[in-house]
Structure 1
């Protein structure tokens, strides 16, 4: 293990951990030869992991990767991206493994999915507009007890 290596981790035996995964990101970084979970953001004793108690999967080394702007990870294959974000730090870095290139299949799937999501949002907005227009008609006709928007 090298300084700044990044791993995804899980407990070898979940039954021995009362807190299980509470307050852990399941992403760890090597610092001074030890593994530290990134959830707390500060390398504390509580975030230090015992290597004998966890299974780790190497993701990359921070010094060997390129930082990406959030959103541009959608251009690359998932195995080429190391996303450090987690529920306690949505602004954590996203890294790209050196030599990785944009992938047409990934980009196409992302774009098609984004189109579908935006179409659903547009339909929802149209439905909401229609409901509000109906409410306006009820209000204008004095039928206030029938208005629920």
Structure 2
């Protein structure tokens, strides 16, 4: 009986570790795809509070990505992102946002001092929007294809 219990615990531990590794891989793939869809630079090294979610199918997919960084890192990131560096951002306030259909943590209404970049659709129908809240150092990214 003791051997059986040990085997069951070992199998549960291996399965848990496998699920954890799969979850990590899945999250990194979602981050990679979100940035690729928006033709955005890799995230700053000092990124904190990173969150990502995805919705859709192979025919239509949306990615939501959020991270925090200091102003200098965010400014470097926008300068290195080809689709953002070419644009002058729009100034926005929290009154400009609707959060219908977004993850709970994708809270654009909390933006206090923000700008918005619109990522135009390319030949593969990849597009998106980037909101930066300089008040809290939070970057919100929504990219998609359809």
Instruction: State if a TM-score over 0.5 links the two structures.
Output: no
TM-score normalised by the shorter chain: which range applies?
under 0.3
Name the larger-Rg structure.
1
Which has the bigger relative contact order, CA under 8 A and spacing at least 6? 2
Name the TM-score, length of structure 2 as normaliser.
0.22
